Amino acid sequence: MTSFVKPFIRRKNEPTNDLGLVRADYDGAMSTLCAGCGHDSVTATMARAFFELSIEPHMAVKVSGIGCSSKTTAYFLRESHGINTVHGRMPSVATGAIAANHQLAYIGVSGDGDSLSIGLGQFVHAMRRNVNMLYVLENNGVYGLTKGQFSAAADIGSTAKKGAVNELPPIDPVSLALSVGATFVARGFSGDRDQLLPLIKAGLKHKGFGLIDVISPCVSFNDHKGSTKSYAHAYKYYNPAIHADYVPPSQQIKAAYAAGEVMPVKLHDGGEIRLRKLENGYDPRDRAAAIGKLFESGESSEIITGLLYINEDHKDMHDMARMEDRPLNQIPYAELNPGAAKLKELQKGFR
Amino acid sequence: MSKIRVNDFTIKVGNVNGTGSASANALLMKIIFRMGVPVVGKNIFPSNIQGLPTWYEIRVTEQGYRGRSGDVDIMVAMNPDSYKRDLAELSPGGILLYDDTWPRPHFLTRSDITVIGVPLARMCNGAFKVARSRILMKNVAYVGAVAALLDLDLDILHTLLREIFAAKPKLIDLNLQAVALGYDYVKQHYPDSNKFKVKTRNLTKDKVMIDGNTAAGLGCVYGGATFGAWYPITPSTSLMDAFVTYCKQLRIHPETGKHKYCIIQAEDELAAAGMIIGAAWNGARCFTPTSGPGISLMSEFIGFAYYAEIPMVLFDIQRTGPSTGMPTRTQQCDIQLCATASHGDTAHILLFPADPGECFDMAVNALDLAERFQTPVFVLSDIDIGMNDWMTDELTWDDSYIPDRGKVLSSEDLKSVDKFHRYLDVDGDHIPYRTIPGTDPKGAYFTRGSGHNKFGGYTEDGAEYKEVVDRLKAKWKSAAEKLPTPIVRRAKQATKTAIISLGSCDGAVIEARDRLGADGVYLNYMRVRGFPFAKEVEDFIAEHDQVFVIEQNRDAQLLGLLLSETNTPRDKLIPLLHYSGEPLDYKFVRGALSEALNLRKTA
């Protein structure tokens, strides 16, 4: 079996972005996931985010590990380089790639198996380094490709398709991210594209590590009664708390808005994120508040979503490494070669 | 009194780890080197920060041999815990120098040696106030004592101390004082004990004393590496330390302070491997230094880089295994591990440096080869080469060098390409073209470790899969003729007997072979420097009736590769194996060869 080629259909009067490209220009190969999979919806939303941000596809890089979610990097942005690495190790490959050239837009796609079990270490360390990438964690609480084992994200009491009950506490990627220094932490739901799309756009524009934990139900192995990652459960407990819109630098209007209604957060590219639906007194720049909010909502089984935390002040990996703006992969060798005379001089100390 | 031995003997210092003995021994070795006499230094140290026994051997060899002699002529016994063993190791006619602040009359049980007691502790306790300097200066004082015994050039000693402590002038006087304590005491109390002597020569001109890890780190700078990722592991750490040092010196913009490099200390070896794969995939030259346990951990990623055809440079500074093994002892035990690291059918390119000079050159080779062949390349050094200071020809650089970045398509190149396919063998040389992300929309492709066809598409089709892996094998084989060529030394007379060896065995093998030659036993010698083996290797074996394969591991790993990769009958290759963890000495090689040759004659 080879991968399916997705037909490239152009419609009349299709909307174009600033580059003159249409939404279909951001498609990839045909998905081979199950019909109704939450991941496909996330894939489409990611493609739309790149389209709406007018990012040239070849200036984007997609990275992933192993698992259903990791396969999806082939299903959008066919004119981007993509790299489907080894299980749980996508963050290190992304880190190296970003060290070599920080000027591309990097999106990592992973799942709860890939990120929270085998890849937990790399996931955490990429956040500590504040690697400038958006990391989309498609979370379904289950191992799909190996047919239905619990993942480390499964909630206590959640049941497997064949009836087994999970007794181990879940690892919550959002609270983990908050504790280790991620600078953009959000949760979304594959069933709510309206909320997810601006989150992805904002995450791509944020400078530093952005995590979006997307509840993305597995229709084949974890969508039954008793599962806390099913569509039904997600819809029931879903709380779209904080809405975040990305406003590019060019479109900023000095509109007045009532205090408490909208909170603007300035981004490094000159654009801003506008947060809406904020509860009174909640400030997503306050990490302790975000952690508190998360634990509070957890008590009531509520799935709190939206942009829970943002910090635009922390240096990203590139700045911490004091690298020059020109990417390492573009420095000509002439600038790197110290030369024969210098070698002679350096060896004076070896006599 | 017997004849004085000039410029041909071995000094061994037994000390306690963490007392500053390393600097004292380096000082001793450098004095001799600056007197123009070749030296070999071997540090035999424990996996410990403080307290365990540690030894340092300095071989003075006017002939310039680079291996150990296997003898100890002067033992400086500074560690009571190892006195017994140190006394036993001393060759007949040798000198034992020890701290007789606490006399040890049992040393006198050996009548075939000379015992020289110097009250180092007592003298230092009298001369220095601070407790730590008493310990440190005791070591400097024995340098003075040895200097008196060997008639070392005091001016050179003084100059060296002034250079070393240029930034801390207060320490100069302290050190000079300590040297004088030891020196004067020996001159005064043992005026007639000059059995060994260093005489000034002019044999170290254009030579430097450098360790292999420093040379390799410097090679990475000269080769144009801009990125390195690593996880600290003995004995590879000093390679990255060197890269850091030279990058700080050479790659920081003087005004802006901005770096033209990036070094990441990864969370583990797996991540270090992933990082260099990511950086190389994205077009930066990069590398990771590690040791055997690191290679085990990186193996999955190594297979990924092999199959997805991503350049990857790994330095394996080998130490004894298996498992944690003896982390500070040397071996050549990862040859087969690296040759096929990872699950599935894989085959990798290996380079075998024999000294720091080759570490420098092969670091550059490795960066070129990895990009040319789009595959992992291993530089297999070891503790002996990596962490000991070797006298080596001054490193040289050809300013006309241009890095071989391999088959990379630029945006301009892509204009003339109808459609780009990542794994298509366009030129018939088994090497496909690659593109760097961000170059051009036409260059986009999807990199995967899963089954793929020559167009880069996912496949589970057997024929398509085979087409790609067969090309990979052909590509690997084609690298054989592009690697550093084997070095062959022919005997004075035609012979059907030969040696094949590699890496840090070289010094001991050359010396053993010279000495056997002097006794009328002639052997040809080939040192292999790369894997896959060049055709020459098979031809060399074919020329001979018997070939001794000398290497530092238990399982004859090089011999195994020679059998599997050349058309050689099994009984033609005879293993000579040394795997105690100490650097190879010529006596072992000579003994093993003589024994094997005699046995074969009588059989």
Which pLDDT tens digit goes with each residue over A269-321? 888 888 877 777 788 899 999 999 888 887 778 899 999 999 999 999 999 99
**One-letter amino acid of B76:** V
| A336 Cα to chain B: minimum distance (Å) | 6
For residue A99, which residues of chain B lie inside 8 Å, CB to CB? 227, 262, 264, 275, 278-279, 284
Kindly provide the residue ranges of all beta strands, DSSP E only, lying in A219-271, ordered along the sequence: 238-247, 263-266
Half-sphere exposure of A284 (CA within 13 A, CB side): 30
- CA distances to A78, A147, A149, B524, B572 from B548, rounded to whole Å, are 56, 55, 55, 10, 8
Q: Is B253 exposed, middle or buried (0-12, 13-18, 19+ CB in 10 A)?
A: exposed
Domains and CATH numbers, chain B: 5-205 (3.40.920.10), 210-393 (3.40.50.970), 408-481 (no CATH), 487-602 (3.40.50.920)
Q: Per DSSP, what are the bridge partners of residue B549?
A: B500, B575
- Nearest residue on chain B to A337, judged by CA atoms? B222
Per residue in A79-137, pLDDT (tens digit) is 999 999 999 999 999 999 999 999 999 999 999 999 999 999 999 999 999 999 999 99
From the list B274, B301, B399, the residue facing A339 with the nearest CB is B399
Q: Do A95 and B457 touch (CB under 8 A)?
A: no
For residue B453, which residues of chain A lie inside 8 Å, CB to CB? 2
Sequence-separated (6 or more) residues with CB below 8 Å from residue B521 = B593, B594, B597
pLDDT band at A2 (very low <50, low <70, confident <90, very high): very low
* Residue length of chain B: 603
Per residue in A228-253, pLDDT (tens digit) is 999 999 999 888 888 888 888 876 55
Assigned superfamily of A23-322: Thiamin diphosphate (ThDP)-binding fold, Pyr/PP domains (3.40.50.970)
A302, two tokens: 């509520």
Taking chain B (603 residues) in consecutive chunks of 10 residues, what is each chunk's mean pLDDT?
A: 87 91 93 98 89 94 95 95 93 95 84 95 94 91 97 96 92 95 96 92 97 98 98 96 98 97 98 98 98 98 98 98 96 98 98 98 98 98 97 97 98 95 97 97 95 96 98 98 98 97 98 96 98 98 98 98 97 98 96 88 55
Nearest to A339 by CA among B368, B246, B354: B246
Mean pLDDT for the stretch of residues A207-228: 94
CB atoms within 10 A of CB A297: 18
Mean pLDDT for the stretch of residues A212-219: 95
- Mutation for A interface: B29, B269, B446, most A CBs within 10 A: B446
For residue A90, which residues of chain B lie inside 8 Å, CB to CB? 274
**Sign of the four-CA dihedral B542, B546, B548, B549:** positive
- CA distances to A171, A202, B18 from A186, rounded to whole Å, are 16, 10, 50
Backbone angles phi, psi at B112, to 5 degrees: -95, 10
Cα angle vertex B380, ends A118, B326, to 5°?
A: 70
Q: Do A92 and B272 touch (CB under 8 A)?
A: yes
For residue B394, which residues of chain A lie inside 8 Å, CB to CB? 344, 347
For residue B443, which residues of chain A lie inside 8 Å, CB to CB? 58, 81
Does A320 touch chain B if contact means CB atoms closer than 8 Å?
Answer: no
For residue A59, which residues of chain B lie inside 8 Å, CB to CB? 438
The helix/strand/coil state of B213 is helix
Interface contacts A/B by beta carbons within 8 Å: 227
Q: Do A346 and B441 touch (CB under 8 A)?
A: no
Q: Do A329 and B282 touch (CB under 8 A)?
A: yes
Per-residue confidence (pLDDT) for residue B600, from 0 to 100 = 63
**One-letter amino acid of A88:** G
* Residue length of chain A: 351
> Contacts by A169-174 with C-beta closer than 8 Å and gap 24+?
A170/A141, A171/A116, A171/A120, A172/A213, A172/A294, A172/A298, A173/A112, A173/A115, A173/A116, A173/A123, A173/A137, A173/A139, A173/A211, A173/A213, A174/A211, A174/A213, A174/A294, A174/A308
How far apart are the C-alpha atoms of B222 and A347, rounded to whole Å? Answer: 14
- Nearest residue on chain A to B225, judged by CA atoms? A336
How far apart are the C-alpha atoms of B544 and B572, rounded to whole Å? Answer: 8
pLDDT band at A4 (very low <50, low <70, confident <90, very high): low
Q: Do A322 and B461 touch (CB under 8 A)?
A: no
For residue B435, which residues of chain A lie inside 8 Å, CB to CB? 81
pLDDT band at A258 (very low <50, low <70, confident <90, very high): low
Q: Is B145 exposed, middle or buried (0-12, 13-18, 19+ CB in 10 A)?
A: buried
Does A78 touch chain B if contact means CB atoms closer than 8 Å?
Answer: yes
Does A119 touch chain B if contact means CB atoms closer than 8 Å?
Answer: no
